[in-house]
Structure 1
Amino acid sequence: MRTIHDVIDDRAVTSLFQPLVELSSGRVLGYEALSRGPAGSPWESPVTLFAAARAAGRDGELDWVCRAAAYRAALDAGLRQTLFVNMEPTAWHTPCPADLAPVVALARDRLRVVTEMTERAIAADPSGLLSAAANCRAAGWGVALDDVGADPMSLALMPFVHPDVVKLDMQLLHSPDDPHTSHVVAAVAAYAEASGATVLAEGVETEAHEIIARTMGATVGQGWRYGRPAPLPAVPEPVGAQLPLLSPPVTDRTGGTPFEIVAAQRPTVVTTKAALMPISKYLEALARDSHQPPVLLSCFQEARHFTRATARRYIAIATRSPLVAALGVDLGDEPAPGVRGAALAAGDTLRGEWNVLVVGPHQAAALVARDLGDDGPEADRRFAFATTYDRTLVIAAARSLLHLLAPTDPRTVPDLLTV
């Protein structure tokens, strides 16, 4: 009997396609590629297929096989609309297999692709996800955030991906009166209004679902109401309207530390560590007490400043937050249970910074401070500091830290498109 290894080795995967429809006009704006294993085999279902590949340690390679199959089918059909493809969270650690490189390169030149990612991947590997998203945008492709709303903690992670398309989880359409649905819809609407992103509703099966989707701010729909997964049309459709793609986030274009990013836009003041402690603890309290758990990222200069009392506070926040991180010299990958870490080099510019950054679905706040190098009592050490509640600035500062929460070996974060 054919094994999962045979399926992957033989590249025995095909793609079906489901249309993405503009709700106001009914026009097809694109298609999502949906992978299938060999018909009639235990691996025909994508869930079973990827579960078996994951158990065999080959899910990253299978992801390449699935995307390459979708690219090949789209190229053969002369697709002119946008092609949506899914990417598994582990895929950016797997180099493109040599036999698939030609079709991937051709897709980069000839197709308009949006790569779908999930929020759960951000906390697991922030740097990898951001690198993958940046590589997609460097190719002129877009990024979609999938299953938004499935996890109540996921909304705080949305601005870090800066998706061109936000895909509302299909369960939202089936529970429009649930308070959780209202929270998700409000957060997505705020992001879409600020960024210009497209909101897409998944699982639209009826006219009633379509009406609900439009009240939720969706302008594009996907589901059985518009078509079941099938091969692409034999005759290419006219291009028509295209889904708009956003400009890259500011930290994809410019670097800098949190202090440098914020201080370039806000005035700084000099004060002592003792005077800054209440501000720092206030921001921690925002993260702890927020109705919708935010991301909390902090720089402590050195491990000795991440005290036992601080660790206890961060552990408590991490139990309900999608991502809590502490960076500093001699801090490990997990300085406290549930807390992500990154060890700074002794000469790292961040060693001179004390930063506390909070990003939630509806709030953002930052304290950024630079050590002025005083000797003497700890409480009297002076810092130049600034605070801001400007969402764009806080997110830019936070993104500059997310790149550090991952392996530094560049081979583990390959370019997903340059092969």
Structure 2
Amino acid sequence: MALHSTSGPGPSPTRAQRAARLAAQPYNRARHLDRILEQRQVRSIYQPIVDLSTGETIAFEALARGPAGTPMERPDLLFGTARDLGLVQELDWICRATAMDTAMQAGFGTALTLFINVEPDVAATRAPEDLYFTFKRAQQDLRIVLEVTERALLERPAELLHWLSYARKRWWGVALDDVGATSESLALLPFVRPDVVKLNAHLVRNVHDDEDKRVLEAVHEYAQRTGALVLSEGIEEPEDAERATHELGAQLGQGWLFGRPGDLPAKLPRPRRVVPLLAPPPTTTAESPWSIVSAGAQEQTLPEAAVRRRFAQVEQAAMFSREAPVVLASFPPGEGPWGTPEERLSRLRSQACFCGAVGLDLASSTDRGWQTSPLPHGEEMNNEWVLLSIAPHQAAVVVAFDADEVDGSGHRLLEVCWSQERDVVSAVAEFLMRRLSSPVVDLDGRLVI
């Protein structure tokens, strides 16, 4: 499976840059990786995914491996070396292209579904030129589900969510992998809108503690609300399959009981059903958070002190949420009812699974679980203060802007509205996430959106 790169998004290194890096490496695994990338020596193996109600194989997950019989056959060494050299993005494109090409050559078609892992940084990079037509063909000839891990989602959520949304509009599916490894990403579940939620293998052994129970509760609530499927990983014994079905509520299963990773079978199964995909989300035409919230909430003109209390209530909801929330904010220039970004977000950052802010005067910065981005001039939202917090069992947003008036006592007045409706908060959160993201490439790595 894909391992993450610590480098930021950007173009792949040139041949000269790569050669310089390789020359500085004391061990020839770097030269070996260079040859693998140059000669496209990555190969794919596949593990079946079954419908637990019928036992039919309805999908395969593609797993990347280096050349057989070499140390680089190990995915940890292959991706670890690529990460050390800043080449994970190029390796990831090659791995996905290989998985697609091998499946198409085997006559995969659209009756079966192909699950493919994707790295978080790939959303901001272009595919190598020689792989372009492989991705173009795959969009037409394969039924694909892009698989992202909880860890990847927390690395670069804004870009990855934007890219996944773009993919879903072209009827590629999305799976969220390793759910339950940590409860951090639960708040991001409604943003990802996965078609398939893959439960971490430890859950099929036993639901150990309250955190495991909260994870399952959030997953089941999401699946019931959206129609998404739940997949249980790590099924090795018949008892695991029973537990996955009756205790975890899984419809799909994956594990050694159904088959170890290997080459595709000479005769591919033709299942009676396909992995269903959710309908793409509706496209919002809103031009600012205020327009989203005020459409269903009462607008009020209040003194700044009263507005400050509203912002404090949302902040407290984030601080004391049962699960780590997503916290997003927008800051116009100057002093506002919620203070400066540095004052307010530093505390919330330690509590949130992801904390992001946009603003006309903000600089770009990215770290795990943290991202800020400047807004361009001319945005309707440039004069709006926004704070929202959203988690599986909590949602709140408040929006305000200067009314350019004072009350009878000379106190500054602001227009304000707020909401605790989950759909409203989610819509504002998606609006802000899009403004946090860098440019995103098309599925085939050519078009920038």
Task: Provide the TM-score with structure 2 as the length reference.
Answer: 0.86
> Cα distance, 1:337 vs. partner?
11
- Aligned to 1:415, which of 415, 419, 442? 442
Aligned-partner Cα distance in 1 for 2:287–2:406:
27
| 1:91 alignment partner AA | V
Instruction: Specify whether residues 414 and 310 from structure 1 end up closer, same or farther in structure 2 by C-alpha distance, changes over 3 A only.
Output: closer
1:353-392 alignment, distance < 5 Å: 353-374=384-405, 380-392=411-423
Give the corresponding residue for 2:281.
249
Instruction: Give the percent of matched residue pairs that are identical in Structure 1 and Structure 2.
Output: 38
Is contact 1:273-1:378 (8 Å) kept?
Answer: no
| Secondary structure, aligned partner of 1:302 | coil
Is contact 1:119-1:157 (8 Å) kept?
Answer: no
Could you list the per-position Cα deviations for residues 312-334 of structure 1 after superposition, in whole angstroms to 9, with x for gaps in the alignment? 44222211311122332312235
> RMSD across aligned C-alpha pairs, in angstroms?
2.5
> Cα distance, 1:173 vs. partner?
2.0
Is contact 2:338-2:344 (8 Å) kept?
Answer: no
Unaligned regions of 5+ residues in structure 2, if any?
A: 1-27
- Aligned to 1:286, which of 317, 325, 341? 317
Is contact 2:235-2:254 (8 Å) kept?
Answer: yes
Aligned-partner Cα distance in 2 for 1:6–1:310:
47
1:78-93 alignment, distance < 5 Å: 78-79=107-108, 80-93=111-124
Instruction: Specify whether residues 377 and 243 from structure 1 end up closer, same or farther in structure 2 by C-alpha distance, changes over 3 A only.
Output: farther
Aligned-partner Cα distance in 2 for 1:99–1:379:
67
> Cα distance, 1:378 vs. partner?
12
**Alignment of 1:235 onto 2:267:** yes
Deviates more, 1:127-136 or 1:71-80: 127-136
Deviates more, 1:65-74 or 1:296-305: 296-305
Is contact 1:272-1:379 (8 Å) kept?
Answer: no
Aligned-partner Cα distance in 2 for 1:374–1:124:
42
Could you list the per-position Cα deviations for residues 260-301 of structure 1 after superposition, in whole angstroms to 9, with x for gaps in the alignment? 122223332332322221111011011111121111112222
Give the corresponding residue for 2:17.
none
Unaligned regions of 5+ residues in structure 1, if any?
A: none
| Secondary structure, aligned partner of 1:374 | strand
> Cα distance, 1:64 vs. partner?
0.9
Aligned-partner Cα distance in 2 for 1:165–1:67:
19
Instruction: Specify whether residues 287 and 398 from structure 1 end up closer, same or farther in structure 2 by C-alpha distance, changes over 3 A only.
Output: same
Aligned-partner Cα distance in 2 for 1:379–1:30:
67
| 1:351 alignment partner AA | N
1:205-244 alignment, distance < 5 Å: 205-214=236-245, 215-244=247-276
1:136-175 alignment, distance < 5 Å: 136-175=167-206
Aligned-partner Cα distance in 1 for 2:194–2:366:
30
> Cα distance, 1:376 vs. partner?
8.4
| 1:127 alignment partner AA | A
| 1:184 alignment partner AA | V
1:246-325 alignment, distance < 5 Å: 246-250=278-282, 252-305=283-336, 311-325=342-356
1:342-361 alignment, distance < 5 Å: 342-361=373-392
Aligned-partner Cα distance in 2 for 1:96–1:20:
28
- Aligned to 1:39, which of 39, 44, 68? 68
Aligned-partner Cα distance in 2 for 1:306–1:213:
49
Is contact 1:18-1:227 (8 Å) kept?
Answer: yes
Is contact 1:82-1:243 (8 Å) kept?
Answer: yes
Is contact 2:45-2:262 (8 Å) kept?
Answer: yes
> Cα distance, 1:61 vs. partner?
0.8
> Cα distance, 1:137 vs. partner?
1.5
Instruction: Specify whether residues 168 and 241 from structure 1 end up closer, same or farther in structure 2 by C-alpha distance, changes over 3 A only.
Output: same
| Secondary structure, aligned partner of 2:72 | coil
| 2:443 alignment partner AA | L
Aligned length: 414
Instruction: Specify whether residues 163 and 381 from structure 1 end up closer, same or farther in structure 2 by C-alpha distance, changes over 3 A only.
Output: farther
Instruction: Specify whether residues 171 and 308 from structure 1 end up closer, same or farther in structure 2 by C-alpha distance, changes over 3 A only.
Output: same
Instruction: Specify whether residues 255 and 36 from structure 1 end up closer, same or farther in structure 2 by C-alpha distance, changes over 3 A only.
Output: farther
> Cα distance, 1:236 vs. partner?
2.9
Give the corresponding residue for 2:358.
327
Task: Provide the TM-score with structure 1 as the length reference.
Answer: 0.91
**Alignment of 1:19 onto 2:48:** yes
